[in-house]
Structure 1
């Protein structure tokens, strides 16, 4: 079963006052490298990285990483939905996956173990699988083949949230409160670093 793996990393990170994707998380690992590493540890298939506002910076950081495919979304300012659509179209040009796994580049507490649980459940029962933060549902998420044409047509800046809330397809979840942490500001990054030291 082929599950394409995507990191969404196209946003401007305006509240961070700079490129958070190249921020050091410790042990010489940047934020974008953390996302790449946890996805690469799942299996040997390539990791797709959707870039945008900070394309050159991300490209420079990942220049020596193997088995990565950069997808530049030149319309990144249209929002998350456009990045999801851009990634889905690019993947479907080259392969026909059974599903697509999406994570956000700034979900710094995610581990390969978390993603592996999601993948294992999807393989047992191919349908929508996502994280349950306790108060809402969100990424990481795996969308099955039946959703891929819908993902290709997304335009909203809300991403694919409506697909997790609607009832026309089954939505399954794993409890993953740590996935609710994404880094938007320098203060949040400092809090995370202080907590992990």
Structure 2
């Protein structure tokens, strides 16, 4: 999964219970696979990146479908407290397996149009601009996936409750650059969202 040149982590957040959907969104059929595996495939195509999947609710159901030789599976026992706990768990585990990590990308599992090129465009912009935060831009906002330089790891580790990566983006906008992510605004929270994705005209 990693090698000595590896300085990048990709943390995929998949701990939520999908309460508005009524079933685990991670396992919804999509693109001849499911939403979670679609995201993991994209992440695994990024060269020299350590991929960490943070699970929580429905842990066994999700983990039994995965190949743990390609990724590091990280269980967040505190998932009910909000997204911040999964980010904290992901960063802590990244630093355990990759103590000299220079940067990490925080991603979610329910953006169906994610691809390895989205992740790679964040990395390219990071190297080109030397900015500390590279966020995806869609629907007049900045969001996931988002890359953070190591200097922001401490900020991420201090997130609480339902706070997410956007809090850090907004706090350090002067050190943030955007990369367009077409259809990044499409995510799956409800059955209606999923129906629109699957049964689009």
Give the Cα–Cα distance (whole angstroms) in 1 for the partners of residues 24 and 16 of structure 2: 9
Is this contact kept in 2: 1:10–1:50, CA < 8 A?
A: yes
**Divergent runs of 4+, >6 A:** none
Task: Map residues 78-117 of structure 1 onto 2, 5 A cutoff.
Answer: 78-95=81-98, 96-117=100-121
Task: Map residues 43-122 of structure 1 onto 2, 5 A cutoff.
Answer: 43-62=47-66, 64=67, 66-95=69-98, 96-122=100-126
1:158 is matched with which residue? 163
Is this contact kept in 2: 1:132–1:174, CA < 8 A?
A: yes
Give the Cα–Cα distance (whole angstroms) in 2 for the partners of residues 75 and 166 of structure 1: 25
Give the Cα–Cα distance (whole angstroms) in 2 for the partners of residues 163 and 138 of structure 1: 11
Is this contact kept in 2: 1:99–1:142, CA < 8 A?
A: yes
- Structure 1 unpaired stretches of 5+: none
TM-score, normalized by length of structure 1?
0.92
Q: 2:34 aligns with which of 30, 34, 49?
A: 30
2:181 is matched with which residue? 176
Give the Cα–Cα distance (whole angstroms) in 2 for the partners of residues 118 and 26 of structure 1: 23
**Structure 1 residues 45 and 136: alpha-carbon distance in aligned structure 2, compared to 1, 3 A threshold:** closer
Is this contact kept in 1: 2:7–2:48, CA < 8 A?
A: no
2:191 is matched with which residue? 186
Q: CA deviation at 1:148?
A: 0.7
Give the paired residue count.
194
Is this contact kept in 1: 2:8–2:48, CA < 8 A?
A: no
Q: 1:9 aligns with which of 4, 8, 14?
A: 14
Give the Cα–Cα distance (whole angstroms) in 2 for the partners of residues 76 and 21 of structure 1: 15
Q: SS state of the match for residue 167, structure 2?
A: helix
Is this contact kept in 2: 1:10–1:53, CA < 8 A?
A: yes
